[in-house]
């Protein structure tokens, strides 16, 4: 394997481990030595890959946004109704919340609430644009096909994503009486009703 590839792999493994630790233990409770230890890597070497903890946090949100964006793009490209797309998106969101909860938790618990960290370099959601763009496409397509009411994008975006985020937050607090995936139908239905033409 080439050295460049090896470096890229190492880089991704750092993102992976940090994402996990930040999401589960919190950004401030997770120290650089914690991350290095889990990676069996020296602290100094970690800094060869990411020159500060804040920069690492920003790279993680970009990465996360891309992964989520890619998944939604696939839904956008399906030849199905907007109603069905909504369900697909809710499904994939909750599936991720179950299988790779770190990603959604990172969004909710790190990105959303450490403005000091993201204010410099991630202003105006530029670091989550991959994700936002796909939601925008979903919405525009729905409006274009006449299935969704034409309204301010952020009003629709806030509903969709605030709702899903809120549910995952409730899941994280262990207050949901049922498995989160059992809410898929109800929630898709509510979203569709809210947004339909």
Partner DNA sequence: GATGAATGAGCTTTCATTCAT
Partner DNA sequence: AATGAATGAAAGCTCATTCAT
87: helix, coil or strand? helix
Task: Quote the least distance from Cβ 79 to a copy of itself, whole Å.
Answer: 26
Q: Distances from the Cα of 55 to the Cαs of 28, 91, 127, in angstroms?
A: 14, 31, 12
Nearest distance, CB of residue 9 and DNA, angstroms: 10
Contact 109, 23 (CB under 8 A): yes
Of 35, 41, 36, give the one whose Cα is nearest residue 21. 35
Strand (E) or helix (H) holding 54? helix 53-76
- The correct pick among 8, 12, 48, 78 for binding DNA (CB under 7 A) is 48
For residue 124, the partner it binds in DNA, a copy of itself, none, with Cβ less than 5 to 8 A by kind, is: a copy of itself
Question: At closest approach, how far in Å is the CB of 2 from a copy of itself?
Answer: 18
| Largest pairwise CA distance in the chain | 56
Q: How far is it, in rounded angstroms, from Cα 20 to Cα 64?
A: 12
Interface residue with DNA, options 3, 5, 99, 174 (CB under 7 A): 3
Residue 37 engages a copy of itself in binding (rule: CB under 8 A): no
Q: Is 179 helix (H, G, I), strand (E, B) or coil?
A: coil
Does position 44 interact with a copy of itself (CB under 8 A)? The reply is no
Site for a copy of itself in 157-196 (CB under 8 A): 157-159, 161-167, 169-170, 172-178, 183, 186-187, 190-191, 193-196
Distance CA 118, CA 59 (A): 10
Of 118-147, binders to a copy of itself (CB under 8 A) are 123-125
Does 149 sit near DNA (CB under 7 A)?
no
DSSP summary character for residue 100: S
Q: In the complex with a copy of itself, which residue's Cβ is closer, 99 or 177?
A: 177
CB of 77 to a copy of itself, least distance (A): 26
Question: What is the number of other CB atoms lying within 10 angstroms of the CB of residue 146?
Answer: 10
Q: Three-state SS for 22?
A: helix
Site string for a copy of itself, 82-121 (x = CB under 8 A): --------------------------xxx-xxxxx-----
Positions that interact with DNA (CB under 7 A): 3, 6-7, 10, 28-33, 40-45, 47-49, 51-54
């Amino acid at each position: 394997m080439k050295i460049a590839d090896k470096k890229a792999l190492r880089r991704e493994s750092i993102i992976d481990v940090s994402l996990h630790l930040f999401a589960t233990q919190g950004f401030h409770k997770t120290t650089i030595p914690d991350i290095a230890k889990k990676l069996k890597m020296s602290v100094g070497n970690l800094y060869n890959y990411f020159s500060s903890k804040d920069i690492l946090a920003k790279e993680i949100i970009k990465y996360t946004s891309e992964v989520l964006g890619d998944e939604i793009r696939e839904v956008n490209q399906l030849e199905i109704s907007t109603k069905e797309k909504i369900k697909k998106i809710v499904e994939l969101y909750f599936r991720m919340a179950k299988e790779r909860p770190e990603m959604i938790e990172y969004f909710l618990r790190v990105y959303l609430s450490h403005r000091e960290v993201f204010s410099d370099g991630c202003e105006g959601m530029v670091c989550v644009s991959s994700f936002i763009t796909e939601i925008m496409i979903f919405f525009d397509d729905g409006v274009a096909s006449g299935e969704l009411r034409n309204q301010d994008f952020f009003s629709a975006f806030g509903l969709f994503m605030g709702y899903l985020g809120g549910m995952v937050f409730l899941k994280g607090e262990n207050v949901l009486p049922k498995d989160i995936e059992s809410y898929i139908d109800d929630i898709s239905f509510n979203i569709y009703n809210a947004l339909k033409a």
